[in-house]
Chains A and B, each alone.
Chain A
Amino acid sequence: MLTLAAKEIRDSLLTLRFQAGTVLAIVLVAVSVWALADDYGRRVAGHSRRLALNEAHMAEFGHLNRTGSASAVGQPPLPLTAWVRGLSQGARLEQFDNDPLPVLFPLVDMTGVVTVVFSLLALVFTFDAVSGERRSGTLRLLSTFHLSRASLVLGKIIGALGTVAVPFVASWLVAALVVVIASPVPWGPAEWAAAVAIGLGAFFYVVAFGALGVAISTLTREPRTSAFVALAAWVVLVLVIPNLAPFVAAELRPLPSLTALQRQAGRMLNTERDALQDRLRAEAFERLRSEDPAVGRYLDLPRDERTAAVAADPALARAAEQVAEAGAEANREGNRIQRERADELYEEFDRRLDGQVRLARLLSLASPAPAFTYLATDLAETGLRHEEREKAQGEQFEVGYRQWSAAKYDALLATDPSRDWYNTPTDLSDMPRFVYRSEPLVGRLAATAPWFVVLALFSTLFTAVAAVAFSRYDVR
């Protein structure tokens, strides 16, 4: 079997597809990684400048009122984005850029090169592994050897993969080399480890498509048909399913419009809350009335007479205090209840959004391509997992920030109660800054293990199909 594989590899090295494919892959990878590395450098410089400008801005005229926007400068670009863009290409992480061009013409990154180019290469290298040999008659010859059909198929797969391995490994070496040479990309051991993991995932991905190509070759008679079926499969697996899945999920698990939600929440926190507060206050006052007749007397007085009456009668003064306290308590209670309701509304929305995203992810697993995309983006921290982490860390920061803000305000107020400290410039050098904490590599690897498994399953499935189909193959 290994001899067969070696023969396959030797034969392929001289073919047009091998040479063209290798050159194409290397050039593509070199150009895209170099461009992304340059882009990374640019973004880091931009980010540093934003930070500096921000600090200067705060030093100039930091009002407690204005720190909100300054604290959300956004996190610095991640070094692995030189290989994997993922969600960072959206308008999300780089606020205020809102550039439409990357949406019309998305950038190429390693994920794109692997999912699109390498899968195509793998298929082109393998689509006629069996049907081509049948055509040229050599298959008949091969089947006379003392090799089981299964070993024959396996030998072919290994041989084909061996051929693809050359442009594959060459490209990854070039990608790594470019990262090393392009100085602004600082990759530490963690990044290199993640890069190796991504490379491994890409390897599994290519194996899957190689096996698919051989499987298709065993299922069709003519190389021409194999080519067509292989390409059709490629279109469906790489182009259609990944883009269709979120669509279908959005139809199956639709979300209410965020605007409608905001409208509802707004109502809850305004008119509904006011009504609730009125009711709670009324209830509280009724209770007080029954306990203390002085309260009743106080409440029955017209408003403009209250101050005078309170000054005259100490019992009324006490009643007034009780009423004020009860009123404030009712207001607080009303606020709390409505706030909870509004939060519940948003949480419900988040739950449904989560459900939709999960469904989209599940549906997309009908193809190996999204599995690899999730793998790569999760390892590079530019994927869906990272989104959630950033949001969670952002929320935590918000809490800490609000505490600092309140404490600062109280401290300032203590020094001079008459000033409007929200609109007075103060020294804000102790303001907490948001720093994104990267997830440790171990965590990321553990999280992406399922994707590796999915890719392995695809490879196994296609190999099995190839083996079974070939065992019934008519070599004539």
Chain B
Amino acid sequence: MHALVTIARKEIQESLLSARFALLLVLALVLIPASLYTNYRSYEVRRTDQMEMQRRSMEQLKGLSATQLFTNPDLQVDVYLPPVASSAFASGFQEAHPRHVVVGRHGVEYGAPLEVSPSLGLFGGIDYLFVVQLLFSLFGVLLSFDTITREKEAGTLRSILASSVSRSTLAAGKFLGGFTMLALPLVIAFLVGLLALALAGLDLTTGGFLVRSTWILASSLLYVAAFFLMGLLVSTLTRTTYAALVVSLAVWLLAVLVLPRSALLVARIARPVESRQAVLLEKTAALADIERAKGQALQSVYDQDPETWEEARDEVVAPFERQAAETARRLDEEHRLRVDAQRGLALTVARLSPTGSLVSFVTEMAGTGLTAERRFLTDAESYQETLYRELFAKVFMDNLPGGTIRMGADPSLDLEAVPEFTSNPPAPLPSLRIVDLAILAAWSLILALGAFLALERYDVR
């Protein structure tokens, strides 16, 4: 026990005065709080925008005159995605996701994406996730890749192993000491970041913010530990510092930059999905066919006595409306299933690397991951069903063969009474992606075991 502490303390002392630690501390203290603060401010702007656009959209709807209601066959309501404060940690998909979704008669469609400054489009911004994912993992490797090999080269390893210190204690001590030097800057910078957010006006106690932050920090520490252990393992397996450097860098590159990004490519090739626009066009074509058939059927109705055509119309139209709704829903669902399959595969492949798991977990916690997007779409869809009942079903426009158009509205239509869109507030603790945490923990365990084993079998001669 005493030996463990001594070794650890020696590591810490050596690192504390080294340039590596200083650089890491500086980078962390600058980048993490700054990015948290800036991303939080842009969240505030997005929030104000969203509330205003939502209000404007409803006002526009309620301000429609009767004629406008009828002559616009593509009556739509825009529904805006509410941003979350914890997006300060990870921008996630927010830059690509449509800012709003368009709710129409036959379903829900993506609206235009958020206007992003073009330079950000080329490089992407900096957020907490970026700093941990790239910087801390690299420094984790840099702080550990030569921890054993430098002792080998200096010859001191032989004397340590000859002493009464067990090999596992040595490994544990190296890990404890080195990892502390990694964890310290991260935790300090994290706390400073939270302070910066509080200063920016965020009430840390609302919306489960602190709970999410804690989980994010925990996953980050696991992630960094995994990379430290990887460097440690490489250090025990190689003979020279130089070889250790090359190998650990190669592994880092593959794990952090290559694997997660190839995941999407793999998924696209294995499970191709057509674009949304193609589906939209297909849907429009199918619905147009139904519309035409409906027009034909209605021709005979309108030729009748004008007193009776109202009820007759309802009867004739009902099966067509049903068919249209079913067709739209079917096409949407088929597309959705294929998209989910593609995403599932991409995520599975990406999570083979600790980086993929970290991204998946942190974006989930930050409320900017894939489930948040799905939840928004589901909310929009149930709103669409409400709107259909209250609005779309009460307004009709019939295209009769020959080009005539008949339109009208149910007298019970009351634009003022059309309900507003409310999205369910994000749960204080989003579905905990245990799988991601498990993958991170598993990597750490496997690598630690590997390092222990390698050291045990090490031939000092």
Question: Are A and B associated in one complex?
Answer: yes
Query: B-contacting residues of A (Cβ < 8 Å)?
Result: 16-17, 20-21, 24, 28, 31-32, 35-36, 38-39, 42, 46, 49-50, 53-54, 56-57, 60-61, 86-87, 90-92, 94-108, 112, 116-117, 120, 124, 128, 132, 223-225, 227-229, 231-232, 235-236, 239-240, 242-247, 249-251, 255, 257-260, 263, 353, 356-357, 360-361, 364, 370, 373, 377, 383-384, 387, 419, 423-425
Chain B residue at minimal CB-CB distance from A54? B281
- B138: interface (CB < 8 Å): yes
Complexed CA–CA distance, A101 and B124 (Å): 14
Residues of chain B within 8 A (CB-CB) of A425 are: 403
A228, closest chain B residue (CB): B20
**Given A54-B281, A92-B113, A425-B403, residue A104 in contact with residue B363 (CB < 8 A):** yes
Q: Which residue of A lies closest to B346 (CB)?
A: A101
Complex contacts, B96 vs chain A, CB 8 Å: 90-91, 98-100, 102-103
Chain B contributes a number of interface residues (CB within 8 A of A) equal to 85
Interchain CB contact (< 8 A) of B146 among A106, A116, A224: A224
Instruction: Determine whether B275 belongs to the interface, using a CB cutoff of 8 Å to chain A.
Output: yes
- A46's closest neighbor in chain B, by CB? B275
Decide if B403 touches A57 in the complex (CB within 8 Å): no
In the complex, the answer to whether B258 meets A108 with C-beta atoms within 8 Å is yes
3 nearest A-B residue pairs (beta carbon): A100-B93, A96-B277, A246-B119
Give the residues in chain A near B120, CB-CB below 8 Å: 246, 250
Q: Out of B52, B117, B135, B403, which one reaches A246, CB within 8 Å?
A: B117
Q: Is B411 an interface residue (CB 8 A)?
A: no
Least CB distance, B288 to chain A, in whole angstroms: 6
Determine if B435 is an interface residue (Cβ-Cβ < 8 Å).
no
Interchain residue pairs with CB less than 8 A apart (11)? A17-B246, A20-B246, A53-B285, A54-B281, A97-B275, A98-B97, A105-B263, A236-B27, A245-B123, A246-B117, A250-B38
* Contact of A86 with B269 in the complex, beta carbons under 8 Å: no
By a CB distance below 8 angstroms, the chain A residues around B124 are 106, 243
Contact for A35 among B119, B126, B262, CB less than 8 A: B262
Which of B19, B267, B268 gathers most chain A CB within 10 Å? B268
**A235 CB contacts on chain B under 8 angstroms:** 27, 134-135, 138
* A98/B276 contact (C-beta < 8 A), A24-B253, A90-B96, A231-B142 known: yes
Docked complex Cα distance between A128 and B130 (Å): 29
Report A426 CB to chain B, min CB distance, Å: 10
Number of A-B contacts (CB under 8 A): 220
Bound-state Cα–Cα, A243 to B278, Å: 34
Q: Are A384's CB and B118's CB within 8 A? A: yes
The distance from the CB of A134 to the nearest CB of chain B, in whole angstroms, is 14
Cα separation A361 to B253 with both chains bound (whole Å) = 27
A16 to B239: give the CA distance in the assembly, Å: 12
B249's partner among A107, A124, A242 (CB-CB below 8 A) is A124
Asked whether B449 is an interface residue with its Cβ less than 8 Å from the other chain, the reply is no
Decide if A120 touches B275 in the complex (CB within 8 Å). no
- Report chain A residues within 8 Å CB of B281: 50, 53-54, 57
Interface contact A108-B257, CB-CB below 8 Å: yes
Q: Is the CB of B278 within 8 A of A46?
A: yes
Which residues on the B side are within 8 Å of A259 (C-beta)? 48-49, 52-53
Q: Is the CB of A360 within 8 A of B274?
A: no
**Interface pair B265/A39, CB less than 8 Å apart:** yes
How far is the CB of B260 from the nearest CB of chain A, in Å?
A: 5
Contact A97 B276 (CB under 8 A): yes
Contact of B66 with A by CB under 8 A: no
Within 8 Å of chain A (Cβ to Cβ): is B31? yes
Q: Give Cα A61 to B275, complex, Å.
A: 22
For the complex with contacts A96-B276, A108-B257, 5 further pairs of A-B residues with Cβ separation under 8 Å are A32-B265, A57-B284, A224-B146, A259-B48, A356-B117
B341 CB to closest chain A CB, in angstroms?
12
Q: Bound complex: CA of A384 vs CA of B264, how far in Å?
A: 25
B135 surroundings in chain A (CB, below 8 A):
235, 239-240
Q: CB < 8 Å: which of B20, B246, B346 contacts A124?
A: B246
Knowing A50-B277, A259-B53, the reply to whether A42 touches B119 (Cβ < 8 A) is: no
Contact A42 B272 (CB under 8 A): yes
The docked-state distance in angstroms from the alpha carbon of A257 to that of B274 is 34
> A183 to chain B: closest CB distance in Å?
16
Q: Residue-by-residue, is B121-152 near A (CB-CB < 8 Å gives 1, otherwise 0)?
A: 11111100010001100100010001000100
Contact of A98 among B113, B119, B122, B274 (CB under 8 A): B113
